[in-house]
Structure 1
Amino acid sequence: MSPINDKKNLYEFNKLEKRLRRKVGNAIKDYNMIKDGDVVMACISGGKDSFAMLEILLNLQARAPINFKIIAVNLDQKQPGFPEDILPNYFDSLNIPFYIVDKDTYSVVKEKISEGKTTCGLCSRLRRGTLYSFAEKIGATKIALGHHLDDIVETMFLNMFHGSRLKAMPPKLRSDDGRNIVIRPLTYCREKDLIKYSELKNFPIIPCNLCGSQENLQRKMIKKMLTDWDKQSPGRVDNIFKSIQNVSPSQLADNELFDFVNLPLDRDGDREKYLFDEAVVSSSNIDESLFINIANI
């Protein structure tokens, strides 16, 4: 299936795959995503990201010092014209266990959302509920989704601009009811690398006709903003992601996250030396004995 037919492409592919495999491996290690004996339900939509996630997980599975199982699952949302044979054939070519789960979320979304409005929010909620319940049914201990670094940063800005919340997508998430663990193995991977990987692997991409025509989606506007930033200042998106990993609650403004209300003054003991020496007063009309008297009250 791959267009890797010359030495240059083969070299580029091997280099890219090694980089992606390393990043996925690091994410799995950093967030303890997969443990020995886990059953990982890899959710495959038919897009480039989930295809890449599955291939890299299978690659790592063959090399890992632990044993874990991967089950590919596709949720057929009954979109008109959805090619039902592509994914089963693809999974068979990889010789892996899979399920195709039928759930007509398409009709629900079209009924509930007015023409021209964003469908992604409702669509994702319906999809999530179906996949959560199916994961329990098949005994999956982890649900793997194909969100990458760019998705995470875009989501943070979407929540900031349109929801007034400093919130993104965590690499690892426990569902609200505690019954499922979601992992995002592509957390450290950039979308541009996944696009190139997909081209070299020639994945049988299935477009999402439900939302593909919505050209003014807020996410697309955020994506363009970040793309422009990355062109102007290479590495900026990576730095934004790193900031999500290095949060200082006391430097924000959330009273629930940090107790600003009861913040005490503590001058007991000797203080650490500041960067600069104390200032020298050249003139003043203050009687310093007042400060001494106040301090002794």
Structure 2
Amino acid sequence: MTSPDTDLTHSVNLEDKKIKTRLNKLQKRLRREVGQAIEAFNMIEDGDKVMVCLSGGKDSYAMLDILMNLQKSAPIHFELVAVNLDQKQPGFPEHVLPEYLSGLGIPFHIVERDTYSVVKSVVPEGKTTCALCSRLRRGTLYGFAEEIGANKIALGHHRDDILETFFLNMFYGGKLKSMPPKLVSDDGKNMVIRPLAYAREKDIEAYAELKGFPIIPCNLCGSQENLQRQVIKEMLQSWDKLYPGRIETMFRSLCNVVPSHLADPALFDFKNLQRGYAHGIVDDEDACATSPSSVQFMERIDILSL
């Protein structure tokens, strides 16, 4: 007969084993998804210096953790430097990120800019401050990346953020537009990458909880949550519960765009479609084949037969 202490120890060990197993599975999944995104979009190349933007939220913590993990086994050499923008919100725990990053042994910078006062002086009381705050934050980080010689800026947006932004632009902006996994800033000076583009928010949330990241909430400024984004988030979460697999299918559609089957004449040359050519498009070889004999023996496909 075992003692109560022995039973308790056994239960604790069993629970610890379950937690470790779950953590390992999540880490492997996130590693795989981040690795796939990096490869698919050529996000990180040999010799890159990647500025990893750390907000104190679960997403950026997970991004840094996975990138550091991949860095150890990557076949190429690249640098990582963590950067946090202290925007001087009242109550911001300034000690949390320096202590955490010092423990990791990674190079880091804390950039202090009082964007909080700027936002509060411009945005009327009760209005959402997120849009202006985001623009100011982005401009500061872009400039700092140039200062430290970073040629890539990594942001922690994940698959759910990308889908939410897509529907926000569709429903409220009248555009088929989202957050691309990789982009160049408007001035052409900065390359932005989103290594978590293939990762699910619920996996990141679970991973952050198991890893015990020191999360800093994004409500210190007292601004209202972006209500439109919250509506979209709830819609997607509802679909995910009611129709398993729908979120995955929707995201795959963003990676499999067919311009000829949409309706943007600036994106696809509808005006010059011609019968007798594959998909109605005259390619360079077709254009050069002007002799009667060439035309006679040229194999053509009617778009209506596809």
Alignment-derived partner of residue 187 in structure 2: 177
1:208, CA displacement in angstroms? Answer: 1.4
1:12-23 correspondence to structure 2 within 5 Å: 12-23=22-33
Task: Give the SS at the match of 2:257.
Answer: coil
What is the identity, as a one-letter code, of the residue corresponding to 2:276? D
Are the aligned partners of 1:120 and 1:211 in contact in 2 as well (CA < 8 Å)? no
1:99-110 correspondence to structure 2 within 5 Å: 99-110=109-120
Equivalent residue in structure 2 for 1:129, among 124, 139, 151: 139
| Partner Cα separation in structure 1 for residue 222 and residue 18 of structure 2 | 34
Alignment-derived partner of residue 146 in structure 1: 156
Alignment-derived partner of residue 9 in structure 1: 19
2:62 aligned with 1:62, yes or no?
Answer: no
Q: Cα–Cα, structure 1 residues 210 and 156, in superposed 2: closer, same or farther, change >3 Å?
A: farther
Task: Give the SS at the match of 2:183.
Answer: strand
1:241, CA displacement in angstroms? Answer: 1.0
In the superposition, the TM-score normalised over structure 2's length comes to 0.85
Alignment-derived partner of residue 227 in structure 1: 237
Are the aligned partners of 1:28 and 1:185 in contact in 2 as well (CA < 8 Å)? yes
2:82 aligned with 1:72, yes or no?
Answer: yes
2:191 aligned with 1:191, yes or no?
Answer: no
2:49 aligned with 1:34, yes or no?
Answer: no
Are the aligned partners of 1:143 and 1:181 in contact in 2 as well (CA < 8 Å)? yes
Q: Percent identity?
A: 66
1:119, CA displacement in angstroms? Answer: 1.4
Q: Deviations over 1:119-177 (max 9, x none)?
A: 11111111111000100000001000000000000000111111111000000011111
| Partner Cα separation in structure 1 for residue 33 and residue 183 of structure 2 | 19
After TM superposition, the structure 1 stretch with the greater mean CA deviation from structure 2, 101-110 or 74-83, is: 101-110
Return 5+ residue gaps in structure 1 as ranges.
277-297
| Partner Cα separation in structure 2 for residue 244 and residue 270 of structure 1 | 31
1:226, CA displacement in angstroms? Answer: 0.3
2:151 aligned with 1:156, yes or no?
Answer: no
Task: Give the SS at the match of 2:111.
Answer: strand
Equivalent residue in structure 1 for 2:57, among 47, 57, 61: 47
Q: Which has the higher contact order (CA 8 A, sep 6+)?
A: 1
Alignment-derived partner of residue 282 in structure 1: none
| Partner Cα separation in structure 2 for residue 235 and residue 241 of structure 1 | 10
| Partner Cα separation in structure 2 for residue 184 and residue 89 of structure 1 | 25
1:216, CA displacement in angstroms? Answer: 5.8
After TM superposition, the structure 1 stretch with the greater mean CA deviation from structure 2, 210-219 or 97-106, is: 210-219
Are the aligned partners of 2:116 and 2:221 in contact in 1 as well (CA < 8 Å)? no
| Partner Cα separation in structure 2 for residue 216 and residue 274 of structure 1 | 46
Are the aligned partners of 1:38 and 1:140 in contact in 2 as well (CA < 8 Å)? yes
Alignment-derived partner of residue 6 in structure 2: none
Q: Deviations over 1:52-109 (max 9, x none)?
A: 0000000000111111110000000010010000000000010110000011111111
Are the aligned partners of 2:276 and 2:301 in contact in 1 as well (CA < 8 Å)? no
Q: Indicate the RMSD between aligned Cα atoms, in angstroms.
A: 2.0
Q: Deviations over 1:216-261 (max 9, x none)?
A: 6211110000000111111111111111111111111111101222
| Partner Cα separation in structure 1 for residue 196 and residue 153 of structure 2 | 13
What is the identity, as a one-letter code, of the residue corresponding to 1:105? T
Q: Cα–Cα, structure 1 residues 226 and 212, in superposed 2: closer, same or farther, change >3 Å?
A: farther
Alignment-derived partner of residue 106 in structure 2: 96
